[in-house]
């Protein structure tokens, strides 16, 4: 039974749990107020009159409808200071939510196309990561656009060479339908040859075959979303066996109509089937839910118990690109937090 007291205890547990966020786009952390601040200082006109007007425009039909506004928002980020401030604002907010490690995407291509220099992007992000390192560790994952060509993606990997020692891995996002993962096999080989971890958005709006291609053709270390595996028993078996993690984004899926209601989200089914799933925010400013709110909504919808919440926290470190010793240390931290917390809790 879910009593009010148990729901409150669960919310407190979520707030205090040490956890990692593995699927968040820095461009998607641009709060309306930040968009107006950056637009003002860079003298960029906006089509919205106030931050609230922009907030009210954040009702999306689907992924493409969302990406239109998302790329409009990106236009206000032009200087190193902008990339620094956006990164720092996200990390500050995540640290308050007890996110101890974050792996953050940003796709340089849309900025480069508008004349922003790669150096400004990288130095802006990395200086904020350095400033916050005592409160939260953060890996930057450049992401390429699947609507572009594979040659453009490989070109970006090469241009990032001066920063290879500060990059943990590479990803890919953008409008999914009609842009299958298999088209980017060469890009993923180029990343792996250089020793990088890899991840790919697949099975968010695209079919189960895209998740299969990610596993069998791209061989990525993890898959972003992967919802479409729901309903494909063979694929679920393979995901459980290989433990290739799925970085799920439940509120994003609800806001973009990937699921019609939260009850239909496959999170609980995937957890019960033994998949290594994690809960993430994707684009928290646009979907009005940062990490803990994603966790809380899932916990309330699926009546997740203590054990399941601790499992999600452990999965978040297990699925990260941290070195193995560091993963073990952080998982042990979740376990000891769980033991200490249990004494003062009546949650099952
Ligand atoms: N870029 C930012 N958010 C995204 C999403 N949900 N899917 C694909 N690309 C994205
Ligand atoms: Zn995403």
Pocket test of ligand 1: the residue of 69, 174, 253, 287 to mutate, having most ligand atoms within 8 Å of its CB, is 174
DSSP state of 28: G
For residue range 274-330, list pLDDT tens digits in order: 999 999 999 999 999 999 999 999 999 999 999 999 999 999 999 999 999 999 999
* Averaged pLDDT of the chain: 96
Angstrom distance (rounded) from CA 151 to CA 142: 16
Mean pLDDT of 195-217: 98
Judge whether 40 and 31 are in contact, CB under 8 Å.
no
118-165 residue pLDDT tens: 999 999 999 999 999 999 999 999 999 999 999 999 999 999 999 999
pLDDT band at 344 (very low <50, low <70, confident <90, very high): low
Percent of the chain with pLDDT over 70: 98
Q: Which long-range contacts (CB under 8 A, 24 or more apart) does 28-31 make?
A: 28/70, 28/282, 28/283, 28/284, 28/285, 28/286, 28/287, 29/86, 29/89, 29/90, 29/93, 29/283, 29/284, 29/285, 30/73, 30/74, 30/76, 30/77, 30/86, 30/285, 31/89, 31/285
For 232-252, write each residue's pLDDT tens digit. 999 999 999 999 999 999 999
Give the pLDDT of residue 339. Answer: 87
Question: Which residues, in sequence order, are bridge partners of residue 101?
Answer: 20, 137
Residue 283 Cβ < 6 Å to ligand 1: yes
Whether residue 348 is predicted with pLDDT greater than 60 in this model: the reply is: no
> Does 25 sit in the ligand 1 pocket, CB within 6 Å?
yes
pLDDT at position 64 is 96
What is the mean pLDDT of the segment spanning 23-39? 98
For ligand 1, the distance from its centroid to the CA atom of residue 224, given in whole angstroms, is: 9
How far, in Å, CA of 37 to CA of 16, rounded?
Answer: 31
Residue 342 pLDDT class (50, 70, 90 cuts): confident
Q: What is the pTM (predicted TM-score) of this model? A: 0.97
Residues pairing with 248 in the sheet: 279
**Ligand 1 atom having least distance to the Cα of 204:** 7
Estimate to the nearest angstrom the gap between the alpha carbon of 297 and the chain centroid.
17
* Structure confidence at residue 345 (pLDDT): 64
- Nearest atom in ligand 1 to the alpha carbon of residue 256 is 6
How high is the pLDDT of residue 341? 75
For residue 133 the two structure tokens come to 């390192």
Burial category of 199 from C-beta neighbours within 10 Å (exposed 0-12, middle 13-18, buried 19 and up): buried
Ligand 1: distance of its center to the CA of 9 in Å?
A: 32
Task: State mean pLDDT over 263-268.
Answer: 98
Q: Tell me the C-alpha distance between 263 and 298, whole Å.
A: 9
* Mean pLDDT across 185-203: 98
Residue 21 predicted with pLDDT over 90: yes
Cα distance between residue 230 and residue 128, in whole Å: 38
User: Rounded to whole angstroms, how far apart are CA atoms 65 and 186?
Assistant: 29
Residue 135: how many other CB atoms lie within 10 Å: 14
Ligand closest in space to the Cα of 27: 1
Strand order, beta sheet including 246-248? 19-25, 99-106, 137-145, 169-173, 197-202, 222-225, 246-248, 277-279
User: Is 205 touching ligand 1 by the criterion CB < 6 Å?
Assistant: no
Per-residue pLDDT band for 7 (boundaries 50, 70, 90) equals confident
Instruction: Give residue 343's pLDDT band: very low, low, confident or very high (50, 70, 90).
Output: low
pLDDT score of 104: 99
Label residue 347 by pLDDT band (50, 70, 90): low
Phi, psi of 287 (to 5 degrees): -100, 0
Q: What is the pLDDT of residues 71-110, one digit of tens each?
A: 999 999 999 999 999 999 999 999 999 999 999 999 999 9
Q: What share of the chain is helix, strand, coil (3-state, %, to 5)?
A: 55, 15, 30
Predicted confidence at residue 158, as pLDDT, reads 98
**Closest ligand to the CA of 283:** 1
pLDDT grade, residue 19 (50/70/90)? very high
DSSP secondary-structure letter at 282? B
The reported pLDDT for the residue numbered 6 is 81
Question: Ligand 1 pocket test: which of 67, 142, 172, 249 has the largest number of ligand atoms within 8 Å of its C-beta?
Answer: 67
- pLDDT of 13 reads 94
Radius of gyration of the chain (CA): 19
Per residue in 107-124, pLDDT (tens digit) is: 999 999 999 999 999 999
């Amino acid at each position: 039974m879910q009593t009010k007291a148990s729901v409150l205890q669960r919310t407190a547990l979520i707030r205090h749990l040490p956890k990692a966020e593995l699927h968040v786009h820095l461009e998607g952390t641009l709060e309306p107020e930040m968009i107006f601040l950056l637009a003002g200082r860079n003298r960029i006109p906006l089509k919205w009159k106030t931050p609230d007007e922009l907030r009210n425009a954040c009702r999306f039909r689907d992924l493409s409808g969302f990406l239109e506004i998302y790329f409009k928002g990106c236009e206000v980020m032009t200087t190193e200071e902008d990339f620094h401030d956006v990164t720092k604002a996200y990390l500050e907010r995540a640290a308050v939510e007890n996110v101890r490690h974050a792996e953050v995407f940003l796709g340089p291509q849309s900025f480069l196309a508008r004349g922003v220099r790669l150096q400004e992007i990288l130095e802006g992000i990395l200086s904020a990561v350095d400033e916050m390192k005592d409160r939260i560790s953060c890996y930057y994952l450049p992401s390429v656009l699947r609507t572009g060509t594979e040659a453009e993606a490989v070109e970006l990997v090469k241009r990032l060479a001066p920063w290879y020692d500060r990059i943990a891995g590479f990803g890919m996002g953008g409008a999914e339908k009609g842009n299958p993962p298999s088209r980017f096999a060469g890009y993923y080989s180029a990343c792996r040859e250089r020793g990088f971890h890899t991840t790919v958005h697949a099975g968010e709006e695209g079919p189960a075959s895209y998740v299969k291609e990610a596993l069998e053709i791209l061989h990525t270390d993890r898959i972003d979303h992967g919802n479409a595996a729901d309903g494909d028993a063979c694929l679920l078996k393979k995901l459980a066996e290989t433990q290739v993690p799925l970085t799920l984004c439940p509120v994003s899926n609800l806001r973009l109509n990937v699921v019609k209601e939260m009850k239909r989200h496959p999170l609980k089914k995937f957890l019960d089937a033994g998949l290594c799933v994690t809960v993430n925010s994707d684009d928290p400013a646009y979907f009005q839910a940062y990490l803990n709110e994603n966790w809380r909504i899932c916990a309330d919808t699926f009546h997740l118990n203590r054990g399941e919440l601790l499992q999600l926290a452990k999965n978040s470190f297990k699925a990260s690109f941290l070195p193995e010793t560091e993963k073990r240390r952080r998982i042990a931290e979740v376990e000891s937090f769980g033991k200490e917390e249990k004494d003062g809790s009546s949650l099952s």
